[in-house]
Amino acid sequence: MPDYYHAVIFSLLAAGALWVSQKYFGHILSPFGVFYGVWFTALAMFCIRWVDYAPLGGDAERLIALSMGAFGLGWILTYLLIGDRTAIRRTELHVASVSLERMWRVIILLFGFGLVGLADFLWNVQSSLGLATFFQAPYLIRQAMGSGDLFEGIKFFNWLNVLTVVLCAIYLELDKTGKRKAVWAILLVSVAATLVMEDRTRFFYAVLWTGLVLAHLRKWKVKKIIAGGAMVGLLLIVQFLAVASWLGKVARNSPGIIAAEDIPNQLDLLLPPYVYLTGNFPALQAYVENSRASTDGEMTFRPLFEVLSLFDSHLAPPDVVGEFYEIPFPFNTYTWLQQFYSDFGVAGAFLGPMIVGLLAGLVYFSFLRNGSLYGLYVNGLFSFCLAISVMVNHLTQGPAWYFLGLGWLIFHYVEHRSTATKHFARNVIRGFNASHGITQPLPRRQ
């Protein structure tokens, strides 16, 4: 039965979080605004009860409340430690030191590796099922990937297509006259590459991350940000429904969802995205009731254990894909709390979000103060992970760690060189010029 009273309360809390974010933290889409805006909206939608879910018990309710409070505590601690609060309004990016030529080289390199990863995946599909399967029975490809019969191939190359989209968007904002057509072509091909993988994750990753970066890169007023956010949301819903239709993952093919629905038949099309947004709460309750063994940090620090397992197979972390629980139909994502709770219990559900809130605040306020492109990049990555945290925990998965490390190398190369390297290079060139009687000034870096 719909609970409109609490739905209205959560909706007001979502709007309030965005207002606080804009008034006190410098931008409506700060990590604070993104996290609370998405979580309160999801809780409001859950209360509408388009689906008659299994009861949400006290365990899940306490964990959700604890984690949301803990994130806010970590964020506020960072805010209180800021010495100069006026820096929150200082959002000018330091673009003068950015070499567009170097950024272009990076984009070309990553695009090339991304295409290699895509080609390897397509070769595997052709070898096992045939490329015609994309058109005749695309769900078979997804099933084969899930069962392990079809391998993605060079995974760390394939994920570069997501990163290329973000870098192309940044480049297009910085360069209004140069290689725009070529960059646009690379961006569109990279977006298409994320769609070929038949999962929603990569497309959502690319679009949301890019949107959150552009929201801070462009000097938009709140109304334009809200309009842009609505357009991005519509795009994601359309892609979600298109992929669902392509793979046959629609409500009419899920008897369990149809049996539990409580909306007019005309809205059946919206049931899959509604379930993906709200089914995680009763699934969390089922997970807490049925989980027993602790994973002792292997889920929270999964990328680290994956690397260590290359040297010692006993350190391989558990499968990231969770078990299915009846809510009343099978469901296997339990919000971002799964990893924290699995590793450290209730303490993890508090400490994990609090540390994330602390780190997100440090990244965001440092970005506003320093105006670096890497800060913009990382803030967008954190914000994406927080936006999707109502479903899964991307902060504890390999791609986010991969993008953090690779981004540091990229922007260190694009924005500046280390002082020691710069002085060494200049001294060598000066010495060479002096020995040959050359007095022209050193050329500036392009």
Averaged pLDDT for residues 7-36: 95
**Residue 84: per-residue pLDDT:** 64
pLDDT exceeds 60 at position 425: no
In whole angstroms, give the CA distance from residue 209 to residue 379: 9
Asked whether 186 and 118 are in contact (CB, 8 A), the reply is: no
Averaged pLDDT for residues 202-208: 93
Averaged pLDDT for residues 407-429: 64
**Mean pLDDT estimate for the chain:** 86
Q: Which of 119-128, 286-295, 324-333, 373-382 has the highest mean pLDDT?
A: 373-382
| Cβ-based neighbours of 68, under 8 Å, separated by 6 or more | 36, 39, 353
**Residue 423: per-residue pLDDT:** 43
pLDDT exceeds 80 at position 90: no
pLDDT exceeds 80 at position 417: no
Averaged pLDDT for residues 43-59: 91
Phi, psi of 216 (to 5 degrees): -95, -25
pLDDT tens, position by position, 266-292: 777 788 889 899 999 999 999 999 877
Higher model confidence: residue 225 or residue 46?
A: 46
pLDDT band, residue 242 (cuts 50/70/90): confident
Q: Domain limits of the chain?
A: 4-91+250-371
Q: Is the peptide bond before 399 cis (omega within 30 degrees of 0)?
A: no
Phi, psi of 443 (to 5 degrees): -70, 145
pLDDT band, residue 442 (cuts 50/70/90): very low
**Residue 428: per-residue pLDDT:** 43
In whole angstroms, give the CA distance from residue 365 to residue 26: 9
pLDDT exceeds 60 at position 419: no
| Cβ-based neighbours of 419, under 8 Å, separated by 6 or more | none
In whole angstroms, give the CA distance from residue 220 to residue 229: 12
pLDDT tens, position by position, 306-316: 888 888 888 88
pLDDT band, residue 238 (cuts 50/70/90): confident
SS3 letters for 26-45?
A: CCCCCHHHHHHHHHHHHHHH
pLDDT exceeds 70 at position 16: yes
Burial of 177 per CB tally in 10 Å (0-12, 13-18, 19+): exposed
pLDDT band, residue 446 (cuts 50/70/90): very low
Strand boundaries in 273-381, DSSP class E: 325-326, 330-331
**Residue 5: per-residue pLDDT:** 93
pLDDT tens, position by position, 91-150: 567 677 788 899 999 999 999 999 999 999 999 989 888 888 888 888 888 878 877 778
**Residue 142: per-residue pLDDT:** 80
Averaged pLDDT for residues 160-175: 94
pLDDT band, residue 89 (cuts 50/70/90): low
**Residue 441: per-residue pLDDT:** 47
Higher model confidence: residue 238 or residue 194?
A: 194
In whole angstroms, give the CA distance from residue 423 to residue 444: 14
Q: Which residues of 31-52 are buried (b: 16+ CB within 10 A; e: fewer)?
A: bbbbbbbbbbbbbbbbbbbbbe
Averaged pLDDT for residues 85-95: 65
Cross-strand bridge partners of residue 261: 51
In whole angstroms, give the CA distance from residue 331 to residue 284: 10
Quick one: tokens of 238? 């359309």
Query: Within 13 A of 313's CA, how many CA atoms are on the CB side?
Result: 0
**Residue 429: per-residue pLDDT:** 45
**Residue 236: per-residue pLDDT:** 84
For 342, the 3-state DSSP assignment is helix
Burial of 120 per CB tally in 10 Å (0-12, 13-18, 19+): middle
Share of the chain above pLDDT 70, in %: 88
Q: CA torsion angle for 251, 252, 253, 259 (degrees, to 10)?
A: 80
pLDDT band, residue 17 (cuts 50/70/90): very high
For 292, the 3-state DSSP assignment is coil
C-alpha triplet 178, 182, 187: angle, nearest 5°: 115
**Residue 88: per-residue pLDDT:** 66
C-alpha triplet 115, 121, 124: angle, nearest 5°: 140
For 166, the 3-state DSSP assignment is helix
pLDDT exceeds 50 at position 444: no
For 192, the 3-state DSSP assignment is helix
**Residue 253: per-residue pLDDT:** 61
